[in-house]
Structure 1
Amino acid sequence: MSSLDAASHRSSSGSSQNVEKVRKMLFRRMLVGVNDGRYFLGLFHCVDKQGNILLQDAVEYRIAPSQRRRDSSPAEQRGLGLILIPAACRSSCHVDCSVEESLSLLSLE
């Protein structure tokens, strides 16, 4: 096997491990925050090469500007269904799983 073949084998092996990690997150509850302060909670459906996330049965949560000043204000919510969240808009992302699984998922390269 040439060094080029070995390098491509290592990179495909690494990417297949990452694909397996993402597969383990499928259909788990995911909370995604976006730059404008809204949050979306839904079932993780997929992610594309650009990092866009697709959530199924999503609910949007937002706090109205007038309510942000109060500490105990409830967030407004509305059901959205299937949504795509662009990678450029995403500020945070949390998957509902155990601590051990979270630590193993953090090792994505």
Structure 2
Amino acid sequence: MEKSQSEDYLKSLLNKNLRITTSDSRMFLGQFKATDSDRNIILGQTFEYRIPPPPKHVEQGAEPVTVDMASRYLGLVAIPGGCITKIEVEEFASQMKGNR
């Protein structure tokens, strides 16, 4: 992707909700505000979710267990680029290009 295409893509993400997973098993959900050349990301109106560890021992054929993720409101956060393992854009059909 060329630099101008990259810049246009990043601009199109401004104020969209991103889900960012970090290497310490946390997930941040907030509005994309900025990034830099080190891949650090600034999110606004952010919630942090702690992903629970998988059960250590599950019997074969056992019922699946649903665990709620603990969350807290953080507001404006900076996420270091080196800690990011996954970035997802949260879009609804009405927000995608070409849809009305």
In the superposition, the TM-score normalised over structure 2's length comes to 0.76
Q: 1:87 — aligned with what?
A: 81
Secondary structure at the counterpart of residue 20 of structure 1: helix
Residues 1:44 and 2:38 aligned together = no
Query: Relative to structure 1, is the Cα distance of residues 38 and 25 closer, same or farther in structure 2, using a 3 angstrom cutoff?
Result: same
Structure showing the higher strand proportion among its residues: 2
- Which sits farther off after the overlay, 14-23 or 52-61? 14-23
RMSD: 2.1
Deviating above 6 A after TM superposition, structure 1's stretches of 4 or more consecutive aligned residues are none
Larger Rg: 1
Are the equivalent residues in 1 in contact too, given 2:18–2:87 (CA < 8 A)?
A: yes
Point out where structure 2 has 5 or more consecutive residues left out of the alignment.
Answer: 56-63
Q: How many residues align?
A: 86
In the superposition, the TM-score normalised over structure 1's length comes to 0.70
Point out where structure 1 has 5 or more consecutive residues left out of the alignment.
Answer: 1-13, 102-109
Q: Residue deviations 1:13-60, cap 9 Å, x none?
A: x31221111000110010000001010000011111111010001000
Aligned-pair CA distance for 1:73: 0.9
Larger RCO of the pair (alpha carbons < 8 Å, separation 6+): 2
Residue identity over aligned pairs, in percent, reads: 31
Structure showing the higher helix proportion among its residues: 1
**Structure 2 CA distance, aligned partners of 1:49 and 1:24?**
17
